[in-house]
Amino acid sequence: MTADAPKTIDKKTLLKVRARFFRALWPALFLLLCAYILKQAVWGERGVFTWQTLREQVDVLQQENTVFAQKMHRLEAEADRLSGGDPDAIELEIRQNLPVLRPHEYLILLPDTPSK
């Protein structure tokens, strides 16, 4: 035989190599699957970090909702007071928002800073 002749692998050795390969392949595939599932559970679309971010957004929106609900109740109470025909409430609203004076009333404007 010459040195350039290719070596032939018998069928028994080939089957042993193939069996070792597949014996090592299944645990490797299992570990890759576990790594993928763990990645999705932590950083995925429905992962822990996403849920934490959404929970923080929900808390902020609930606080804003509470503020708006209080403002809405205050405005509803004011609307009820004004639509109820309470003349004092209507006069107070007019005097605060419109430049209206009664007859025989005078408006005196004072400067913001005292002059020396």
Going residue by residue through the chain, which has 116 residues, state the pLDDT in tens, using 9 for 90 and above. 556 666 787 888 888 888 888 888 989 999 999 999 999 999 999 999 999 999 999 999 999 999 999 999 999 998 888 888 788 888 888 878 887 777 888 878 788 876 66
- Same domain? For 34 and 80 the reply is no
Q: pTM value?
A: 0.51
109: which residues sit within 8 A by CB, 6+ positions away? none
Which pLDDT belongs to residue 35? Answer: 96
Total of domains in the chain? 2
- Quote the domain boundaries for residue 89: 45-99
- Same domain? For 63 and 93 the reply is yes
Query: What is the C-alpha separation between 82 and 88, in angstroms, rounded?
Result: 9
Q: Tell me the backbone φ, ψ of residue 8, rounded to 5 degrees.
A: -100, 140
- Same domain? For 59 and 78 the reply is yes
- Same domain? For 35 and 55 the reply is no
Query: What is the C-alpha separation between 20 and 18, in angstroms, rounded?
Result: 5
User: 11 is written with which tokens?
Assistant: 């069928």
- Same domain? For 52 and 28 the reply is no
Which pLDDT belongs to residue 55? Answer: 96
- Same domain? For 32 and 70 the reply is no
Which pLDDT belongs to residue 7? Answer: 76
